[in-house]
Every structure is written in C-alpha cells, then in structure tokens.
C-alpha cells in the first residue's frame, strides 16, 4: 500500500514537472507574438515608465529596409585584434550562427566596428535559411544587394566594404553584451521597427508587454479624437499622453 502511495506521488510530481515545462515553452512564443502587435515606441515608453530606464539603442541603429522583428537574442562579441589567423579567429561566431534557433535574433557587437562590414551576404544567407528572424549589428554591414535580395532584416549603425577578417577575434557568444548603448543578455527579447530597437529583459517581458499594449491602445484611440477636435491639447487632457 505504501509503495502505491509513493508511486502515485512520483507520478503526480512528474506530471507537475511536465506541465511546468510545457507552460514555459508556451510562454515565450506568446510573448513574442504579443510584442509583434505593439509599436517599439510604446515598448520603450513602457520600460521607462515602469522602471525609469532607457532600454532603446542608439538612433544610429537603422534598418536596411522597412521591417518589424521580435525574438530572443543570440549574442556575439568581436574584439579588435590584428592577427593572421583568418576566419579561425571567429570560430565561435560561426558556431553561434550555425546553432542560432529558429525565430531568434542575432545580436552582433563589434568593438570600434563602424569602419568594418561585420555582417554580409554569406552570414545573412545562413541566418535567413536557419529561420533567424533578423540581425542587430553594432557595427557596419556590407553586401547590401545580397541582403536586400534575401529580404533578411538587418539593423546596423552604418555601411562599409571593409572586412573583419584578420582584424577581429570572437571572444564569446551567448554572453552579456552592450549593444549600441544597451545591455543585452542572451534570451532577452529584441523588438525592432522603423522607430528603432528596444531590448526587453526576459524576466520582465510579461509586465512590459501589458504596459506596452495599454499605451498602444491609448495612442491609437487618440488619433480619431484629434481628427474630430483638431486639438492636441484637448487630446492630452483626455488621454494623458503625447
């Protein structure tokens, strides 16, 4: 009898564990889908209002073409270092690209990299066909005709024909980095549209999503009110937001 009770308890524990695991697996996609429906400016405002922090990247971070992307970050860091090892010095970066999960966003930080095309056609093609949602590059990019032909979403701080080969070494991936002024941890959600790029700490994503949705709803409800009253002051008085 005691054995049956113990066995029953074990079964319950296993079921609870599986349930928790499934819940965790389902929560991330639902958050990603939720952030796809709200504007990046609303997300940036939500984070500032909730926590008093600026979590959007430098205004220099611009999209190659009009797009909106959301997904968990895969981070990579390249350190400036002259050498003659060729691509061997960026082996960790290649590993990060070849293992990037479907739906993730590749976040590449390059030390003092504005004069180097740190992501180009070959990397973009690999990421595209792995199902990666897009790339955020704290440096310049190159091979624009190929990237545009692929329609692979890329945000960067500039364009340069220069190569990183023999000038940089990859010191790690899926590590904390600072990208265009904002700290990014592996798994943090990245949301980007024509307004820019914002980083959503994964442990606070649910709270930030709810606040972002509230702000988005208020702003969109304000537009018809302004069209009717032709007064921004009256709109601010009614909705409390500008």
pLDDT tens-digit map of 194-228: 999 999 999 999 999 999 999 987 766 666 666 66
Question: What is the reported pLDDT for 220?
Answer: 61
156 - beta bridge partners?
62, 137
User: Can you tell me the mean pLDDT for 49-75?
Assistant: 97
Question: What is the reported pLDDT for 133?
Answer: 98
Task: State the angle between helix axes of 232-239 and 205-229 in degrees (0 to 180), rounded to the nearest 10.
Answer: 140
Question: What is the reported pLDDT for 15?
Answer: 39
Question: What is the reported pLDDT for 231?
Answer: 59
Distance CA 202, CA 23 (A): 15
Query: Residue 21 above 60 pLDDT?
Result: no
Which fold is adopted by the domain 56-200?
Glucose Oxidase; domain 1 (3.50.30)
The torsion angles phi and psi of 222, rounded to 5 degrees, stand at -75, -30
C-alpha 79: how far from chain center:
21
* Average pLDDT of the residues of the chain: 87
Question: What is the reported pLDDT for 218?
Answer: 78
Query: For residue 233, what are the contacts with CB-CB under 8 A and spacing of at least 6?
Result: none
Number of Cβ within a 10 Å radius of residue 1: 5
The percentage of the chain sitting over the pLDDT mark of 90, rounded to a whole number, equals 76
Nearest CA to 61 out of 206, 228, 181 is that of 181
Of the listed ranges 3-17, 86-100, 171-185, the one predicted with least confidence: 3-17
Which residue in the block uniquely carries the two structure tokens 């400016």?
Answer: 41
User: Can you tell me the mean pLDDT for 61-77?
Assistant: 97
Question: What is the reported pLDDT for 175?
Answer: 98
Which residue in the block uniquely carries the two structure tokens 């500039």?
Answer: 158
pTM comes to: 0.84
> Quick one: tokens of 86?
């060729």
């Amino acid at each position: 009898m005691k054995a049956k009770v113990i066995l029953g308890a074990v079964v319950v524990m296993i079921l609870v564990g599986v349930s928790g695991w499934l819940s965790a697996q389902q929560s991330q996609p639902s958050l990603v889908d939720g952030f796809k429906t709200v504007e990046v400016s609303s997300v940036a405002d939500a984070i500032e209002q909730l926590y008093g922090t600026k979590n959007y990247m430098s205004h220099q971070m611009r999209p190659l073409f009009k797009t909106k992307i959301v997904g968990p970050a895969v981070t990579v860091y390249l350190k400036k270092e002259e050498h003659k090892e060729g691509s061997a010095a960026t082996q960790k970066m290649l590993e990060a690209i070849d293992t990037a999960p479907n739906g993730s966003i590749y976040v590449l930080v390059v030390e003092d990299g504005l004069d180097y095309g740190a992501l180009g056609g070959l990397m973009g093609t690999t990421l595209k066909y792995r199902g990666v949602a897009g790339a955020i590059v704290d440096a310049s990019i190159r091979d624009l005709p190929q990237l545009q032909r692929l329609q692979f979403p890329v945000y960067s701080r500039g364009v340069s024909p220069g190569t990183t080969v023999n000038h940089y070494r990859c010191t790690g991936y899926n590590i904390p980095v600072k990208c265009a002024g904002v700290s990014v941890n592996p798994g943090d959600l990245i949301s980007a549209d024509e307004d820019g790029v914002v980083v959503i700490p994964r442990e606070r994503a649910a709270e930030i999503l709810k606040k972002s949705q509230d702000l988005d709803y208020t702003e969109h409800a304000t537009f018809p009110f302004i069209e009717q009253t032709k007064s921004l002051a009256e709109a601010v008085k009614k909705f409390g937001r500008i």
